[in-house]
A = this chain, B = another copy of it.
């Protein structure tokens, strides 16, 4: 490239962001240099801070600045219920929906033997320990409704078989506000099977 080494290095580094190729990285670099120097400096600081300061919560494996995260430390939350999710963004979606006041356990992935990801890699042993020591009453398996997510949920349920804990899975059905004509067959079948009396 005909540019300065600093610009070259910036473009090359921006490509570590997901979905950013050569052209987008160039556009981002030029934008920051032309119009967003203060934003770029702020981003540099935020990146350095987050990369060195963010760790995993010891209880729920979620990202946290402190050894135990804010949700786990919150005394108002019901520790008898634990919701198991695959990623921090799933946790965020549930938090933003509101209405859930229990704890979480973030697997940071799902079981995937083909990629060599086994139970130990996603912290299932930690989860089982927590269920035993914290006297968890209900474990809500909120892994994604994909093949790997379902397999992970079934594996966790199997490991808890015989223990005194209620294991539940999020309901499948028609999205609220959705139109029947646009719902896929599998979802419709699940919605039929899971139908409920109107009075409930």
Contacts and interface: CB of A to CB of B under 8 A. Distances in A.
Interface stretch (A23-31, A110-118, A125-133): A23-31
Bin the interface of chain A by size: 35 or more
Given A4-B66, A16-B36, A39-B16, A47 B47 contact: yes
Contacts of A47: 10, 13, 32, 40-41, 43-44, 47
Interface in A52-81: 52-54, 63-66, 69-71
Give the oligomeric copy count.
2
Contact of A88 (B30, B41, B63, B92): B30
Interface in A1-58: 1-7, 9-10, 12-14, 16-19, 24, 26-34, 36-37, 39-54
A63 B33 contact: yes
Nearest to A11: B46
A17 B46 contact: no
A44 B42 contact: no
A contact patch SS: helix
A3 B6 CA distance: 33
Contact of A34 (B30, B33, B45, B108): B108
Given A28-B17, A49-B6, A50-B9, A92 B1 contact: yes
A94 to B, nearest CB: 9
A44 B48 contact: yes
A45 B36 CA distance: 17
26 contacts: A1-B92, A2-B70, A2-B95, A3-B63, A3-B92, A4-B63, A4-B66, A6-B65, A7-B63, A9-B46, A10-B50, A13-B43, A13-B46, A16-B36, A16-B40, A16-B43, A17-B31, A18-B28, A19-B27, A27-B89, A30-B89, A32-B47, A37-B51, A41-B47, A43-B47, A48-B48
